[in-house]
Amino acid sequence: MSIKMKLSLFISLIVAVILTLNISIYYISSKNEWIAASEQQASSIAKQIGATIDMSEQAKMKVEDSVGSSLRASAVAALELLPSNYEEITNEQLDAVSDRIGVDDITLWVQEEEDIISVRSSEPDEIGLSAKTWGYWYDAFSNLFNLEPVSVREGLALTNFWSGPYNFATSDPSKINKWGYYYDGSTNYMINPYLNAQSLLSFEQMAGTNALLNQLVDQNDNVLEITGFNPEFFGKDPILRIKRGVIVHNLDVRGIMFGEYTYQNDYDLAHILDASDQQQVVTTTASVNGTDVLKSFIPLSGSTDYVLSVTTDYGSVLHLLNRQMLLHVVISAILLVVAMVASYVTSGFLLRTLNQILSSVNTIAKGQFGQHIHIHSKDELGELAARVNSMSTSLNLYVQQIKESSEELRSTKQYLESFINHTSDAIHVSTRDGLVMQANQAFEEIYGWTAEEVLDRPLENLPLEQQEEYRELLGQVLRGHSITDHETVRLTKSGDTIDVSLTISPIRDEQEAIVAVATISRNITDRKQTEEMLRRSEKLSVVGQLAAGVAHEIRNPLTTLRGFVQLHKTKGKIGEDHLDLMLTELDHINYIASELLVLSKPHLLSYQPVNIEEIVRSMTVLLDSQNGDHPIHIRVEKDVVIPLVYGEPNQLKQVFANLLKNAVEAMPQGGTIDIELTSTDKGELCARITDQGIGMNEDQLERIGEPFYTSKESGTGLGLMVCQQIITTHNGRMTLHSQEGRGTTVEVILPPYQS
């Protein structure tokens, strides 16, 4: 597909999206505006109905209060005409009194132990009724008989009087009466005059709330119905009474207070409760009996809290909106076709310069530089054509430079390949995963493998015992470090072991990421053999010195022993003091032999984590118990946390015992020994022992550690030598600092224990 067609389709697509958004926004905004208008209309209707209902309720209450007051006056007048004992009253007498005072009927009620029963009435069907199951009516009767103010909220309560709301007659469910009850304690009965309330209810239906609702529905074409709900009783099971075999729904506990409820929905109860609880308008759409409706539930407060539901015709509005949207779709389709044609023609005009640029670029792509486009416009395409001309000129220059650089790189590559292939060190490059990428000729001479044999394969020249060490080295290199002159052993192709010195370096790309590893191997087998011969010569020299020292040390006590033996042979006896001296010399010889065994005999060592502080403190306690006439004070200072070391506890005890003993013997007049336990910057343990003894001069300090060299009269010169050997086997180091007459400091550094 050409750019001309793509540009035309792209512009058409943008126009289509804009038109679609316009139609959608119009539809949604129109729909929301109508819903908002419907809500406003419902709120206006609700306010109007609420004001009317309040007036109607007030008028109704005034009428009821007036009727209730009239019934109380009738009850007081009837008591003037009747005896105080109901047993003296007949039903005929009550009928005559009711006609005289202007009420329909009169009933007398008597309170028994657990019930209140009607005993006399001008209406015979009213006799024998029980009020125990009448709910708040029974509560009101109980208050009157107890001469208490009536506590129920329904009806009208006056002094010694209560008038219940309109309700169906128990004796005749077809009648709706207004009841009045009076009891002042002067009689043994409660008098109950009542009137037929059907005429009052009929007037309310004709001129009350329902009449107003019908009028509002007729005046608003889109309003289908208006209903008033009592949230307290709507949705609950109706309170039904069976009166004379007829099921009667009490008028005072209805869920629908006024209006019709034709468009019923299962979700109406939840919306009514939400509107009542939150005191906010709740609007919802639904499809009821095939009709799309919009319901607005509006909470109203007055003498009774209730929710007004205004149901409007939502389907007619949707139909009108759909017609408007269809008209917009047709207009938009016409506009889209016009936009497609216009964009196609415009694209062809704009792309003429672009076609010239494309032709020039194709010429450059074939390697023909120097072609130029004739520029006719100064817009973006004209600027692009100028840049293509500049690119053609620059490419011609860059090609010449690349040819020169390529020749230089070829020469450099030949030089590097010659250097790598003719060096005596083996060089090989491997990937991060260990696969060999390149190897030189010296690699084959040292290891025996040719480059073809190891290419794209892992190198198999690692002894088993060196694999863990190599993984650690490779990890350091991959983290960016370089390994220089690392001496180790490797295997050749034939399986022989050779000593090599490795230099391992990372190879990075342009982004400084490590992509490969370069290893330079130098065969140092001959050098190692030469070094081993030198070490053997040095050992023989040391053994000779040691033998000379041992011979010198043992010759002196042997001379003494020989002299005493010759004396004994000449005189035939020898004194006790001579025997003691001989035993002393023999003990001296035995001590020298024991010290030599420490140097030569291998011991069974048990390495474990060791707390040097515990060893030092145990040695100080031992030396404190051996203080003589000139006391020695030992002072220990340490960091808050010092590292453990990994070693053989008995050997380390021997080291610190010898060092502390030397410090004590260096202070014949007593003094203080300072022991400082710290950790170095590398986390090593540092134990520093400082005495205030006689110290040593430079000549003595240089010879410390030589076998049988000592400055003490009874020493052998092997103690410090043994200490140095133990510290060396623990991968540590020991140094001495001393000034004659100012004391000596011995510093022992041991590596930390690592689990």
Tell me the per-residue pLDDT of 704-725, one tens digit each, with 9 for 90 and over.
Answer: 776 666 666 556 666 788 888 8
Mean pLDDT, residues 463-480 taken together: 88
On the question of pLDDT at 16 being above 60, the answer is yes
Distance linking the first and last C-alpha atoms of the chain: 70
Mean pLDDT, residues 233-238 taken together: 68
pLDDT digits (tens, 9 = 90+) for 381-408: 677 777 777 777 777 777 777 877 888 8
441 or 256, which is more confident? Answer: 441
Mean pLDDT, residues 543-570 taken together: 68
Say if CB 752 and CB 687 are below 8 A apart: no
State the virtual CA torsion across 551, 554, 555, 556 in degrees, nearest 10: 140
Cβ neighbours of 123 (radius 10 Å): 20
Closest CA to 270 of 302, 237, 295, 301: 295
Q: Which domains does the chain have, with CATH numbers?
A: 67-325 (3.30.450.20), 424-522 (3.30.450.20), 530-600 (1.10.287), 608-750 (3.30.565.10)
Q: What contacts 117, CB < 8 A, 6 or more positions away?
A: 109, 110, 128, 129, 130, 131
Say if CB 74 and CB 107 are below 8 A apart: no
pLDDT given at position 207: 53
Q: Tokens in use for 51?
A: 């004001």
Mean pLDDT of the chain: 79
pLDDT given at position 750: 93
pLDDT given at position 190: 94
Which residue type does 101 have? Answer: I
Kindly state the percentage of the chain with pLDDT values over 70.
Answer: 78
pLDDT given at position 349: 66
pLDDT digits (tens, 9 = 90+) for 250-259: 555 567 777 7
pLDDT digits (tens, 9 = 90+) for 102-139: 888 899 999 988 899 999 998 888 888 888 888 888 89
pLDDT given at position 182: 93
Closest CA to 132 of 117, 110, 143, 154: 117
Q: What contacts 297, CB < 8 A, 6 or more positions away?
A: 268, 271, 272, 274, 275, 281, 282, 283, 284, 307, 308, 309
Distance, in Å, from the CA atom of 32 to the CA atom of 317, rounded to the nearest integer, reads: 11
Please, which pLDDT band fits residue 598 given cuts at 50, 70 and 90? Answer: low
pLDDT given at position 206: 55
pLDDT given at position 181: 93
Residue 102 gets the label, from left (phi > 0), alpha (psi -120 to 50) or beta, of: left
272 or 170, which is more confident? Answer: 272
**Whole-structure pTM value:** 0.34
C-alpha pair distances (Å), 201 with each of 254, 255, 717: 15, 18, 132
| Lowest mean pLDDT, pick from 314-318, 479-483, 625-629 | 625-629
pLDDT given at position 746: 92
429 or 175, which is more confident? Answer: 429
